[in-house]
Structure 1
Amino acid sequence: MGTEATPLLDALGHPLLPIDPRSVSGAAAIELAPRPESVGRARDFARGTLHSWRLDEQFDSVALVVSELVTNALRHGVDHCAPEWGPLQARPRLELELIRCTARLVCAVRDPSERAPRPAHADSAAESGRGLHLVECFSDDWGWRRLHGKGRGKIVWATFLTKS
């Protein structure tokens, strides 16, 4: 299903997240193919991970945010970088990591683009363009950071306060 590790947290750098790295009690990560069905796979992964951490009550908000972050990574991260890949190159994968801390849950998605995520000015009749507004409304905080060095791309994260 996924791995027990903190690769995104390490790449992101502890000072940029509103958590104390000593408070991390669990982490799970999954690589996602650059295909639309990965959004559902990410939600399933979140459901299973939250259930194993006994955070089922967080699932609805987390699932919505995970769906939006992965969709944005596919639409604006992977698709934006597509012209740079030759026909023989494999498309880079996305990565979702869930990190459990003492009083927070962090969802982080890595994609190959270095472009800043920007909330769109969505028309109320538009079918898309509200993803980051939803992330902002359903999470307690969110942000992003470009990766430097060997790790190309960016990480977009959202945090949720937890009861435990």
Structure 2
Amino acid sequence: MGLSPALATDPDVVNCALAPRLESVRTAREFTKLTLNRWGLGDLFDDIALVTSELVTNALRHALAAASVPEQRTSAWGKRGAGSPGPITQKFGDAPQAPAPLIRLSLVRRAPQVVCAVSDPSSSGPVTREPDWVAESGRGLHLVDSFSQSWGWHPVAAGKVVWALFELDEAAALQEGALQDIGETQTERRYQGE
């Protein structure tokens, strides 16, 4: 049984849900590398991965800290945390526990551009600060601005999305166009019975 048209996915739009953990930055980089390689755009990895890392890190640092996450109840061992041996349980009559907010990384390829977008549950927009070149943090948005052609953010129903746009170089755009043409030709042949 084939996929219905409503369930078919666009191979040029990919998403990755990220948990609110520091390991998510590495997961985002790995997802970006796999996606760009699959698209034949591996030469863009360094710039896009740097920006992806910064956007996910900002979401982890600022957006999730600002988002209110209800305290979870656990068994008799107390509040769950590192080293808590007990599973999360819920007493009869308690309201259902809300899941931890997620960060979502989206990569979109539309020749001659690739967009990296990170959504999070906070409605507060990113703020570019005056860089302190001695501090360990605070330069992330400057890096995003330097390595992408443009960037911005938009509020959404459940938070915001911060995006960065990358232009494909001419060779990559031509290669992608040729790959799309090959794919369309193969699809046309398949439906024409060749």
TM-score tier, shorter chain, comes to: 0.7 to 0.9
1:86 aligns with 2:92: no
Amino acid at match of 1:110: S
TM-score between both structures, scaled by the size of structure 1 = 0.81
Find 2:164's aligned residue among 142, 158, 163.
Answer: 158
Matches within 5 A, 1:4-153: 26-81=12-67, 84-88=68-72, 89-147=98-156, 151-153=157-159
Q: 1:115 to 1:145 in 2, by over 3 A?
A: same
Q: 1:118 to 1:86 in 2, by over 3 A?
A: same
The sequence identity of aligned pairs, in percent, is: 46
Amino acid at match of 2:158: R
TM-score between both structures, scaled by the size of structure 2 = 0.68
Displacement, 1:52? 0.2
> Any stretches of 5+ residues in structure 2 without a counterpart?
1-7, 73-97, 174-194
* RMSD (Å) for aligned C-alpha atoms: 1.4
Runs of 4+ in 1 over 6 A off after TM superposition: none
> Any stretches of 5+ residues in structure 1 without a counterpart?
7-24
Displacement, 1:5? 5.1
**Does 1 or 2 have the higher relative contact order (CA < 8 Å, sep 6+)?**
1
SS in 2 for 1:128: coil
